[in-house]
Amino acid sequence: MRKKIAIIGSGFSGLAAAAYTAAAGNEVHVFEKNYSIGGRARQFTTANGYAFDMGPSWYWMPDIIEGFFNDFTCKASDFYDLVPLNPQFEMVFSDGRVAVPQSFDALKDLFEQTEKGAGAKLELFMKSAKYKYEVGMQDFANQPCHSWFEFVSPRIAQSALKLDLLSNYRSYVKKYFTNPKLIALMEFPVIFLGASPKNIPAMYSLMNYGGYVLGTWYPKGGFIELVKAMQAVAEKQGAKFHVNQAVEKIHVENGKANALQIKGELIHFDAIIASSDYQHTETLLDPQYRNYTGKYWETKTFAPSCLIYYLGFKQKIKNLNHHTLFFENELDLHIQDIYEAKRWPQKPLFYACCPSKTDSKVAPENHENVFLLMPLATGINDDESIREKYLTEMISRLEKHTGETDLLSKIDYKKSYCVSDFVKDYNAYQGNAYGLANTLSQTAVLKPAIRNKKVSNLFYTGQLTVPGPGVPPSIISGKIVAKEVNKLKIKSYETIV
């Protein structure tokens, strides 16, 4: 039976859920609290000609994204041009720099030049990572995780040892490489998972395969093009999108969520999918209907927040690639400040993205579009003065790397974004930017459940539930929850009123 479905939030999981539930013949409405679609992947433009992607900037695991479009008999190339980045990125150390080439053969050569025998070891590492990627992204990532029994299958049982579920990632990498630069290169991808490499299962070496082997790409026009494309797919299936529509309450009657309150009015639905921040969504329910208490969330390990600066420069910046990682300081020191001391980092690492190196449309002619990002602890004070202090440090290191001087005076657009902005715009718990960390104790069934245990037709999707943070996992999350909702056997609200 055709169901009337509400989706709260229009990030990647919400967009995917909208497309898959609408394709099943349901009436689907997506409600977005902000003025534009896309959640953290929104884009804003400036009066002087810049276009800034607000969030995601790494286009990895292109096969997962392509799979979404293939499910609707189309291709990513029907909507945007995808270009490979070469180098994929550059990593800056205190004693030099390493540029990661797009070609895997060239990457093996780089490893061999850095450490004798490392080229062959990289090939072995990636052979194992490919296996983890294929099993992990197919068998593991696509499970709703209601029970551990979902993982009792011959393939998974046979794969248990090969997946290295109980090994930590740092120890795993050190079995292959000893050079500090190579270790840093191999550990970097799992930083997206929101925890120290020593607390991440070695299974997530699949991230190295999904990035370094499948390549780093860029959608011309920015990540907003992926948002627009997914919205277009969902709308073609019949989904309707509503912006500036913040949900104020989820109404429950007889164990079912029967309506959303928006701007004081009740809108009735047969099922509800929350792509909004999980913890915030639960505050829209009366306490007796929530899956988890406040104490539960306090015990969880969240991925970091971050300080972001969107900067426009009135000149080109030499010696700067599309993606650059500034790793002159120790990763562990930064991680300790985030997770243990919960303070602003004493010796920070940061990341610079310069899409205008690849895409002339995101900045005025002869100008540069630069996005600076520094991972932070959640829930900390982020007033403008401390933001500016760290901007000055990042610009100083950018100058040292590029050979440019006096870059602060050449800024003609500047906007900061930090912990309190994530709270304000996304209702993000303690201002987190990436959801829950993918630690072993927060994997699969141990993540917050996708289904409300007390309200039969309320579901959750996105980076705070399975399979975890990141663009491809969020798309998978939307597909998982859509399958669950499409299986619901309920009488339509409209037939009983």
pLDDT tens, residue by residue, 346-367: 999 999 999 999 999 999 999 9
**What does the pLDDT average to over 401-420?**
98
Asked whether the predicted pLDDT for residue 440 surpasses 60, the reply is: yes
pLDDT of residue 201: 87
pLDDT of residue 370: 98
pLDDT of residue 195: 80
Structure tokens at 239: 């989904």
SS3 letters for the chain?
Answer: CCCEEEEECCCHHHHHHHHHHHHCCCEEEEECCCCCCCHHHCEEECCCCCEEECCCCCECCHHHHHHHHHCCCCCHHHCCCEEECCCCEEEEECCEEEEECCCHHHHHHHHHHHCCCHHHHHHHHHHHHHHHHHHHHHHHCCCCCCCHHHHCCHHHHHHHHHHCCCCEHHHHHHCCCCCHHHHHHHHHHHHHHCCCHHHCEHHHHHHHHHHHHCCCEEECCCCHHHHHHHHHHHHHCCCEEECCCCEEEEEEECCEEEEEEECCEEEECCEEEECCCHHHHHHCCCHHHCCCCHHHHHHCCECCEEEEEEEEECCCCCCCCCEEEECCCCHHHHHHHHHHHCCCCCCCCEEEECHHHCCHHHCCCCCEEEEEEEEECCCCCCCHHHHHHHHHHHHHHHHHHHCCCCHHHHEEEEEEECHHHHHHHHCCHHHCCCCECCCHHHCHHHCCCCECCCCCCEEECCCCCCCCCCHHHHHHHHHHHHHHHHCCCCCCHHHCC
Query: CA 86, 392, 344 angle in degrees (round to 5)?
Result: 95
Asked whether the predicted pLDDT for residue 162 surpasses 80, the reply is: no
Asked whether the predicted pLDDT for residue 402 surpasses 90, the reply is: yes
**What does the pLDDT average to over 255-274?**
98
How far is it, in rounded angstroms, from Cα 282 to Cα 1? 28
Asked whether the predicted pLDDT for residue 157 surpasses 70, the reply is: no
Asked whether the predicted pLDDT for residue 60 surpasses 80, the reply is: yes
Q: Are strands 368-376 and 350-353 parallel, antiparallel or unpaired?
A: antiparallel
Structure tokens at 214: 């499948």
Asked whether the predicted pLDDT for residue 494 surpasses 60, the reply is: no
pLDDT band per the 50, 70, 90 thresholds, residue 58: very high
Q: Which residue has the higher pLDDT, 383 or 153?
A: 383
How far is it, in rounded angstroms, from Cα 55 to Cα 43? 8
Asked whether the predicted pLDDT for residue 410 surpasses 80, the reply is: yes
- Give percent above pLDDT 90 in the chain: 88
The answer to whether 471 and 12 have CB atoms below 8 angstroms apart is yes
Q: What is the pTM of this model?
A: 0.96
In this structure, the number of other CB atoms found within 10 A of the CB of residue 151 comes to 16
pLDDT of residue 491: 62
pLDDT band per the 50, 70, 90 thresholds, residue 158: low
Highest mean pLDDT among 162-176, 195-209, 410-424: 410-424
Q: Are strands 27-31 and 240-242 parallel, antiparallel or unpaired?
A: parallel
Asked whether the predicted pLDDT for residue 495 surpasses 50, the reply is: no
**What does the pLDDT average to over 182-204?**
88
Asked whether the predicted pLDDT for residue 230 surpasses 80, the reply is: yes
**What does the pLDDT average to over 414-433?**
98
Give the chain's mean pLDDT: 94
The answer to whether 323 and 90 have CB atoms below 8 angstroms apart is yes
pLDDT of residue 199: 86
- Give percent above pLDDT 70 in the chain: 97
pLDDT of residue 210: 96
Asked whether the predicted pLDDT for residue 274 surpasses 50, the reply is: yes
Q: What are the phi and psi torsion angles at 414 (to 5°)?
A: -150, 130
pLDDT, tens digit, for every residue of 78-106? 999 999 999 999 999 999 999 999 999 99
